Amino acid sequence: MSKITVVGAGNVGATCANVIAQKELASELVVLDVKEGVSEGKAMDMMQTAALLEFDTRITGVTSDYAATAGSDLAIITSGVPRKPGMTREELIGINAGIVQSVTAGILKYSPNAIIVVISNPMDTMTYLALKSSSLPKQRIIGMGGILDSSRFRFYLSQALGVPASDVDGVVIGGHGDTTMIPLIRFATYKGIPVTSLLDEAACNKVVADTMVGGATLTKLLGTSAWYAPGAAGAALAEAILRDEKKVFPCCVSLDGEYGQKDLCIGVPVVIGRNGWEKIVDYPLDAAEQAAFDKSAAAVRATNDVLAEMKLV
């Protein structure tokens, strides 16, 4: 069995760890946090559900001790400051860049062959930073955001159609931001039927708009970033990797000419397997969709430029 490390024992990290444990994706799960007692307490709390939920994953909580993460097959980075109401993901870059860079170094010191999954925001830029800060092949650095955005897209589609979300397919590409993500409504289906033939234009436009502000909507309601769906999305990606499922998920990965972009980490559909992301799936975008993708890429590049100004890349 595999070993997984989750860095950050906040709401997202703890939820992700809990789902991973219940699914028994690893025999050993380490939860690491800088705040003393938090990861230890949450790990103990989760372990006290093992007899009730009947899982055998061993969960250990540690404070800033990367040696305990040694031999991890997969590390999920959730650490950083969460969004507050009115704050964009991009505004977090100055705070979270240093955290993600040091976490990546700490993980790779003890687990040089690990696959790194980035959840910390701004996710596209943090994924780019993790890639540039490491010597890992690009296939082993993956940003989770598109999986979460697509799950929210499917939720809003299911609400509009009045059907189960599990019966709806929908993909979101582009940046993981309120103005940069691109819900591909033209490709969305309900049991193989295009949703554009089931919903009128106004309803389709509303689904797209609601999806794009899905995170901000929750932040306004909760007073902080959401955690159930982000945590579950991180666990779903971990499952696809460790069980070599070959699932197609929209993830933030490094492009080298695909979708007309280079030297950029941004969300596109990829095949996920045991070695990370294995192949980029080339959706046939129309002119408007490609223009939206190019605009999204430009916005992500502008955020990446802050890393250069901070001399982090």
Q: Look over the chain and give the mean of its residue pLDDT values, rounded to a whole number.
A: 95
Residue bearing tokens 């819900």:
183
Q: Are 265 and 301 in contact (CB under 8 A)?
A: no
Share of the chain above pLDDT 70, in %: 97
pLDDT tens digits along 182-221: 999 999 999 999 999 999 999 999 999 999 999 999 999 9
Query: Which of the four pLDDT bands, split at 50, 70 and 90, describes residue 262?
Result: very high
- Cα 188 to its chain centre, rounded Å, is 21
Q: Give me the phi and psi of 2, to 5 degrees please.
A: -95, 170
pLDDT of residue 83: 65
pLDDT tens digits along 83-110: 677 766 566 787 889 999 999 999 999 9
- The one-letter amino acid code at 261 reads Q
Q: How far apart are CA 287 and CA 31, in angstroms?
A: 45
Pairing between β-strand 58-63 and β-strand 28-33 as defined by DSSP bridges: parallel
Stated as kind and residue range, the H or E segment containing 226 is none
pLDDT tens digits along 10-36: 999 999 999 999 999 999 999 999 999
Q: Which domains does the chain possess?
A: 3-145 (3.40.50.720), 146-309 (3.90.110.10)
Tell me the angle at which helices 123-133 and 287-309 cross, rounded to the nearest 10 degrees.
60
- What does pTM read for this prediction? 0.95
Residue bearing tokens 């599990």:
166
What are the residue numbers of the active site? 176
